[in-house]
Structure 1
């Protein structure tokens, strides 16, 4: 029997084989067929789907969620506690690329759906809407359903879908797993044209899922003798519990977190907190003015911002973290992803660096001292990665926005990865695209 592809290839030959197989599903899925070219997960899903629903179904056959029932399902689900993180890490970039992002529960019901209005309108025609049931039982083979069933990342392209009405779409999905038990809590899906199954999509989804799992509140049980029941506390929790943590790398909106609760920080307050966090002995108003504005003329502005920040801290932390004067200094314990990253770099612990470093420090800040700290941090992290990281770690590092066009990192992946590693294929594809973009720019410059 010829070997079947381990992941979706881009070549037209595979697409043609899938279309031919789909024309006669009973024969294609028969155990006696020794010329199967369709991937095993898809074939197995086709077999199950044959017993469940017709191929010409136009929309999910089960009633979904709506109204108050949908609102309650959203409120209870783990995703509701981490939506800002997902918005920043996955939803915004995907929507800007013209793709749909769906978040579903463990039953395959779509709780959230974001995307360009034109794409959402097209998706409505096939029942891909908020509240709809996209389990395998309801709509057959599709990426969210297979990710839930297998507990693994999966891509489904075009005619690999069981129902003919949705074969104009492609999708990639990863399950959201409980970090403590491994239980499947839900699914994260990207849907659209062929770009939705490109080589960079699954790494992006996996990175988003890891970030979400790291942010999930701890599970609590209901005190019964049965299996624990997941209950997630959100903004109604008491903020005066847990360690304070400042999250300032790789985020357009910085956060301060305590226990299960997070609060967003303005750009200037994030800058002030970062500088005071890194200077435990304190800083004077003049030092802060020079560091933030590059001028002593801004001393009055600094004092006003410090007063506002003090009120923010009082409201969020009570007396756990206060802002003293003469000099300005933080009083109380405050951790940060930045200091954890620095400690991991000092220890040469690549996995720990990747666990805490989310990208460039306060990427939107133009404050002189923040810019210096940002460049220094990025430089030392990059140097560590290129020196001792393996190909899988380097590929994870390559997914950070700051490394989107870093050819040296991509070439390091290609050098270290074995020939059959998926990271190698994805790195090669990105490197080729960057080379092509560079050639176009050079050609345009020559023409001008």
Structure 2
């Protein structure tokens, strides 16, 4: 019989000390492999399992060296998160302002590598954070400090709340935190995470929803900036496109179109990492002439060189790294590499497991655990196939038979796509761990 899991709402209603003792009992029983009336929440259990595989000591306060002042400042200046600080501050810090003792918590922002770049909040709470090594320049990844509200969302790509003894390392049990990842909507890359932390008494189950919502607002701000950049590029490109004969389009550095002439509107154009001026082969357009524009590129397809579905001969699906997944395509026209979103990495991994193909309902069951979610699957697969022209077939969805496919997996299959809750991915992980797959 499946155990009941820890419920954050019920936990928040309990006395702070009683809640901490309850979680400590769950943690101790789980780490010993013994029995407990309650099971840890799924994201916490999976994080603890990662820490045990890493060999992290649950009773030792582990810290890395801080970044130098010069390196910290360099990262702050280079990070797109710097422009989002006003949005994050307005959503997560009370009107009394940073540094006030009336502020019961701190806001912390880290980059994609888990390094703390900024923190703000009540001076008393900041002093307590110093005692945990929770300060600018610190490494707050799971591999260094265990399960926490910054490092764990960077792995799972989802908002996570970590309260008291849900922290893997015991020295953090007097702390509560809720964090969410921030992703760049222009290219899907992980930028970092934002976290709200404080002493146990500041815990509230709604904090996680608040932090997640503010992270989405920050991403929306990036999206608005992106639209403004595209509008500027469109203004520059419009008079040039008026003089172009044939097909042409202006795209930004991430492949998003700002203006098109002589051809139907297109979605984002996947650009090779080594994109440059001159003649370049693009998977969705074929051979193109490329010229630089302020803020982007002018791309003109060479009409006599149309894309050939048979040009792709070898694929490498790389899901070996924890936060970056890609598909590399090689063929007669050269090679190119497409980074994958978390959802597209899941879908392509499932198709790699089933070279014979999967129907929309089978993919819905594989990814969502619900065979009726075919509309969502078809929409996602339509996006994938627009990007990977000549690589994927449909009815059923599959990699083309004539293409050689290699899958680069993590050395420890239990680390496969750690963000994923897809049944097919869970089955692969649990097969590697020798456990029965949970449905």
Length-normalised TM-score, structure 2: 0.47
Q: Where is the helix percentage greater, Structure 1 or Structure 2? A: 1
TM-score, normalising length: structure 1: 0.46
